Every structure is written in structure tokens, then in C-alpha cells.
Chain A
Amino acid sequence: MEKTAKIEEYFNLVADGIDKAGDNEKLFLSKLVLCLCHEVDNSKKIKNYIGISLEDLNLD
């Protein structure tokens, strides 16, 4: 599968998961993050992605 197609698949999978979690979306996302951290197993990368994700949270 080419890169764009893969990214589209991840996008859809996570969006679906959030919808399925309903009111528990925060818990769902936290669990997902912990699972992915476990899989990535690289503090430098995880710190970097936390930094990226904290950027531009308040654009209003």
C-alpha cells in the first residue's frame, strides 16, 4: 500500500474508534496512545510527537 493510502487508512481507523468510544473518547485515545508508545518504544520519538501534538492547540 502506498504511503498516502496508509495514512488515509489510519485516519479512518482512528476516527471510527473515536466515534465508537462515544463519551469515552478521552479514555479511548489515551489507551491508544499508550499502546502505540509501547509499540514505538522510543522515548525520543515519543517526546517529539508529544511536542508536535501540543503545537497550535488554540487557533481561535
Chain B
Amino acid sequence: MKIYSSNTSSIKFQSYEPNDTKIHAFDVVIVGSGPVGLTLALEMKKQNIKAIIITNNNFIPDGSKAICISRESMETFQSLGVADKISSIGLGWVNGKSFYKNDKVFELKMPDNDNEKYKPMTNLQQSILEEILIKECLQQEIEIRWNNQITDILKNDNNVQLEVKSLKNKYKITSKFLLAADGAKSKIREKLGLKLEGESYSGNYLISDIKIKLDYPTERLAFFYPSSNPKGTALMHKQPFSIWRIDYSLENQLEKKISIQDVKNMIQDHLNSLSIKKKWDLVWWSQYKAHCLSLKNFVHNRVIFCGDAAHLVPIFGVKGLNSGIADAHNIGWKLPYILNNKKPLSFLRTYDSERKKAITNIFNESKKSTLFMSPPTNGYKLMQNAVLSLSIKNSFYRSLINPRQSKAEKYDFEYKKFSYKDKSNFKIGQRLKNIKLTKGFLFDFIPNSYFILNGQNISIDHNIHSINIRNNDYGNFIYLVRPDKYIVYIWNKLNITELDKIVYNEIGFSNHGKNSKNRRIL
């Protein structure tokens, strides 16, 4: 397999044809070979679940598409063994600049310091991310049935029965669960008669990638009303291999279908406005409209929706790909726990509630960004101009220009009735921070299961995996943590009966009285 080419669609995978007529049986069928489907497959493999991917492609679609990978997504990729490869190619970044006509009006600085393993954002073409994930799936012997598609969902109650079409045959699959990660135009969603609900916005964007060598740093560049697009905006992002993303709002071409020559003219105008005279090539382009659309529920009996199949979020704030990876990381341990009888089937509800709430929060943030980036009415446009104009010399409205970049969501857990005192730097329902240790980082050492992070130098008489830690961030507290790094509970003084009850609730067994066999001291 040729890796990291700029023309990924030239790599063809061998189509799958069934060699028997019997019904194929799996624990999990994943539909879709995009980044979310591939991440789901690796999550299942990590927990030893028998899963396959079904995809109607036999190639990786060209085009950068989503390019910004958040720190939280990188931490998920670390747990799947692909983060080093992504880091080695991707371009990490922290800062951004926004301009109003010719003046700088805002500087974006995302939280970062030398103790972080990953930058807040890493830019990498989606097609290359998919190549890395496919290579990892193939190395881990995850079956991908290329050029196959689900033609019917025959049953969806105590299991899922599917009719599948390959290039030459039709066959049937039965699976305990189906994970639908087949994107914005999900066929699985359509087959179940489900519709996305919410709002679509009027702004229309051209998204293009060009190959050009520019010695600019990796940062987000936003231009409001540049001379190249005096009625709209332009955004620029650097990608690996001298590829630059240029997004361009189409103010005068809302209903008009634009041609490749229009695209080239717009890009040349933009480069001219920045006095860039270098030669460039158009690599890929597409048109985009902002949406805040979501399914009412992500779980429908044994069919579970993830990523764009479940929700569509605006590009501003780079939450599309990252929210899909967060979905995969959430269901990625819950489904194996259900399949291994550690959790009841009803536990799927927590995927629905946690990820729905996360998406609602993302919508609330994205709506604000979209109203500012792509003002829908004269009133909003006038206010946007007023804020930008004021921000040339004054700081008090600059926060409105902030693109509200992707961040980890906090979940609501139900253990507040116990003895927790709210004095830790962390809260119940928050994700752990990947702090730097004397050797390596915290997430280099955490297991794929529930564990205790023990900030007190005490022996905990329990069989759950335990990590002893001395660190100012985590302080003198004891944390019970889920496999997806979310804090279930915090003790300042450990109550072993409470720990027992919570562990029993979470995992369905309790081993109080047996010393931890899996203790590690960091």
C-alpha cells in the first residue's frame, strides 16, 4: 500500500466477494471507512471484539476535507497506537490571527505549555489520516469489506440482520450491533427512516486546497473583508506537504454553481491580496454550507449512529471530525463492556445522553461562531463589522472573534450524593489531563479499563487497576477513572465502601478485600 500520497484515490483495495452462502456472524459491523468508522474498528479491536468494516468504496477519497485534529482526538489516537505516526506527519499549532481588511484584530492563543504531549491542534489531510488508520487496521488484521454495501436492514431487535451486496453477489450478515459511521449522507439513517433535525445556515463557502510553498508558520489565519473578497471572509490553514487550505465565503455566488475557473480566480485574487507571487496548483475543492443538524437519538435498538451520520456541525471551531472521534471513543469501550456482560444493554443510553449533550453544547458554541463568521442578516453583518472595526484598537469585544476551537466535553455523572468535596483541580465528569511525568506522560501508562489514580501514598485494598501518582495538578486526591479517561469519582479521603458501591455500579463486580494486583507507581 502506497502511503501518504497526494492522490489517495489511486490506491485501490481488493473488493470483497463472499466465498460461501452461509450467514456471516459478527459481534459488531461498522458501516463506513472514514476516520470515525476506522477509529471505531480500532477501538473494538483494542477490546478484543470481533468487528468488520463494510464500505462501498475501494479507495480513499481524495481531498483534505477535515484537517484539524484536536489534542483530545490525538489522545484517543494515542490509545489506538497511531498518534506517533500522525504527529510525525501532521503540523501542530497553537496560535491564530484574524484581520479586518488590513488590520490585525484578534490573536488566538490556545492553552499550551511544554508539559503537553500534543499541541491543541494538529493539521493533517483527512485522506492521509485515513491512510494511517487503514494501515493500522490492516496490520491488526481487521477485515474491511471493500466495495460492499448494506442494501437492507432485515431485522433490528435482539440482533441486526443485514442484506449486503458485493460487486457480484448478495449475502447476509447477522451482528449483535451495527455502528453506522457512513457519513453525512448515511444510507443506514435513510434505511431506518430517520432524519436529521436542526438548523442550516445561509452562508456558502468554497473550500479549496492548493499546493504552494510558503514559509508561513502553522496557525489559523482569518481574513474579514480582505481586498480579494471585500464582502466576505477567507480562512487559511497550513497542511503537510506544502498544501494550504483556503476557505472563501461566497457572498455573491449563493445560488450560482461555481466553475473550476471561478475557483482558480478566487484563489489567485486572495494570493494577490497577500502579495504572494509564487506558482501554485489546485489540488482539491468543494462547496460547503454550515449546519447544526442532529438525530434525535443516536441509539436505535442495535443500530448506533456515530460522527456525521449522527450529527452535522459547522466547520468553524473544527468540531466535525473531532466530535466523531469523541463519539467513537465513548462507544468504543461501552459496547465491548456490554458484549462482555460487564454492563447491561441499557448502558447504551449513556452513549446517547452523553454524546447528545456534548453535541448540543457544540451546537451552542458553533451557532455563535457561525453567526459571527457568516452573518445571516443585515443586523448581524452590521454588528460583526462594528466589532471588527472596534477591535482594531480596543480589546473589549475581541472575544467575539474567537473561533471557539474544539475542546473536550464534560459529562454528568450521578454520584454527587457521596462524600466528594469539591476541592480538586478536577471535577467529576471531566476528562483527565495528560500531564508530563518524570518519564513520559500519564496517558502512556493508563489501561483500557476502569482504574484508580491514587494521589495519596496509601495502599488501596481493592482489585481494580491502580496507578499511584504524585503531582500538583492531581493533588492529594484519589480518582476513579473510566476507560475513556473520564473521572467517575473523586475522594479526598477514601471511603472503601463508597469505592465498592461505585465500582459495583460501574463494572458489576467488586473485589474489596483483595490487594490490587495491577498497581503501578509513577
Chain A interfacial positions (CB closer than 8 Å to B): 26-27, 30-31, 33-35, 38
User: In the complex, what residue of chain A is closest to B378 when comparing beta carbons?
Assistant: A26
Report the number of A-B residue pairs with Cβ-Cβ less than 8 Å: 21
Contact with A26, one of B382, B387, B390 (Cβ below 8 angstroms): B382
Q: Of residues B382, B386, B397, which shows the largest number of chain A Cβ atoms within 10 Å of its Cβ?
A: B386
How far, in whole Å, are A30 and B396 apart by their CA atoms in the complex?
15
Is B200 part of the contact surface with A, judged by Cβ < 8 Å?
no
In contact, B390 and A34 (Cβ under 8 angstroms): yes
In contact, B397 and A34 (Cβ under 8 angstroms): yes
In contact, A27 and B387 (Cβ under 8 angstroms): no
How far, in whole Å, are A26 and B390 apart by their CA atoms in the complex?
14
CB distance from B372 to the nearest CB of A (A): 13
How far, in whole Å, are A35 and B385 apart by their CA atoms in the complex?
14
Contact code string B388-431 (vs A, CB < 8 Å = 1, else 0):
01100000110000000000000000000000000000000000
Do most interface residues of chain A lie in helix, strand or loop, or is the interface mixed?
A: helix
CB distance from B156 to the nearest CB of A (A): 48
How far, in whole Å, are A5 and B387 apart by their CA atoms in the complex?
31
Measured between beta carbons, the chain A residues less than 8 angstroms from B389 are 27, 31
CB distance from A19 to the nearest CB of B (A): 18
15 more contacts with CB within 8 A, not counting A27-B386, A30-B385, are: A26-B382, A27-B382, A27-B385, A27-B389, A30-B382, A31-B386, A31-B389, A31-B390, A34-B383, A34-B386, A34-B387, A34-B390, A35-B390, A38-B396, A38-B397
In contact, A30 and B383 (Cβ under 8 angstroms): yes
User: In the complex, what residue of chain A is closest to B379 when comparing beta carbons?
Assistant: A30
User: In the complex, what residue of chain B is closest to A37 when comparing beta carbons?
Assistant: B397
Q: Of residues A27, A30, A35, A38, which shows the largest number of chain B Cβ atoms within 10 Å of its Cβ?
A: A30
Measured between beta carbons, the chain B residues less than 8 angstroms from A26 are 382
Measured between beta carbons, the chain A residues less than 8 angstroms from B382 are 26-27, 30
Measured between beta carbons, the chain A residues less than 8 angstroms from B396 are 38
How far, in whole Å, are A26 and B385 apart by their CA atoms in the complex?
10
Interface size on B, residues (CB 8 A): 9
Measured between beta carbons, the chain B residues less than 8 angstroms from A31 are 386, 389-390
How far, in whole Å, are A34 and B390 apart by their CA atoms in the complex?
9
How far, in whole Å, are A31 and B382 apart by their CA atoms in the complex?
9
Q: Of residues A27, A34, A38, which shows the largest number of chain B Cβ atoms within 10 Å of its Cβ?
A: A34
CB distance from A50 to the nearest CB of B (A): 11
How far, in whole Å, are A31 and B386 apart by their CA atoms in the complex?
5
CB distance from B230 to the nearest CB of A (A): 14
CB distance from A26 to the nearest CB of B (A): 6
Measured between beta carbons, the chain B residues less than 8 angstroms from A38 are 396-397
How far, in whole Å, are A32 and B385 apart by their CA atoms in the complex?
12
Measured between beta carbons, the chain B residues less than 8 angstroms from A27 are 382, 385-386, 389
How far, in whole Å, are A33 and B397 apart by their CA atoms in the complex?
12
Measured between beta carbons, the chain B residues less than 8 angstroms from A33 are 386
A–B Cβ pairs within 8 angstroms, 5 of them: A27-B386, A30-B383, A31-B386, A38-B396, A38-B397
In contact, B397 and A30 (Cβ under 8 angstroms): no
User: In the complex, what residue of chain B is closest to A27 when comparing beta carbons?
Assistant: B385
Measured between beta carbons, the chain A residues less than 8 angstroms from B390 are 31, 34-35
Measured between beta carbons, the chain A residues less than 8 angstroms from B383 are 30, 34
How far, in whole Å, are A31 and B397 apart by their CA atoms in the complex?
10
User: In the complex, what residue of chain A is closest to B386 when comparing beta carbons?
Assistant: A30
How far, in whole Å, are A34 and B389 apart by their CA atoms in the complex?
11
CB distance from B282 to the nearest CB of A (A): 36
CB distance from A1 to the nearest CB of B (A): 27
CB distance from A28 to the nearest CB of B (A): 9
Q: Which 7 A-B pairs have the closest CB atoms?
A: A30-B386, A31-B386, A30-B382, A38-B396, A31-B390, A34-B386, A27-B385
CB distance from A55 to the nearest CB of B (A): 17
User: In the complex, what residue of chain A is closest to B384 when comparing beta carbons?
Assistant: A30
How far, in whole Å, are A18 and B386 apart by their CA atoms in the complex?
14
Measured between beta carbons, the chain A residues less than 8 angstroms from B386 are 27, 30-31, 33-34
CB distance from B471 to the nearest CB of A (A): 40
How far, in whole Å, are A52 and B390 apart by their CA atoms in the complex?
25
User: In the complex, what residue of chain A is closest to B394 when comparing beta carbons?
Assistant: A35
How far, in whole Å, are A26 and B379 apart by their CA atoms in the complex?
10
How far, in whole Å, are A27 and B225 apart by their CA atoms in the complex?
14
Measured between beta carbons, the chain B residues less than 8 angstroms from A34 are 383, 386-387, 390, 397
How far, in whole Å, are A34 and B385 apart by their CA atoms in the complex?
11
User: In the complex, what residue of chain A is closest to B383 when comparing beta carbons?
Assistant: A30
How far, in whole Å, are A30 and B386 apart by their CA atoms in the complex?
6
How far, in whole Å, are A31 and B387 apart by their CA atoms in the complex?
7
User: In the complex, what residue of chain A is closest to B390 when comparing beta carbons?
Assistant: A31
User: In the complex, what residue of chain A is closest to B400 when comparing beta carbons?
Assistant: A34
How far, in whole Å, are A38 and B390 apart by their CA atoms in the complex?
12
Q: Of residues A31, A33, A38, which shows the largest number of chain B Cβ atoms within 10 Å of its Cβ?
A: A31
CB distance from A20 to the nearest CB of B (A): 14
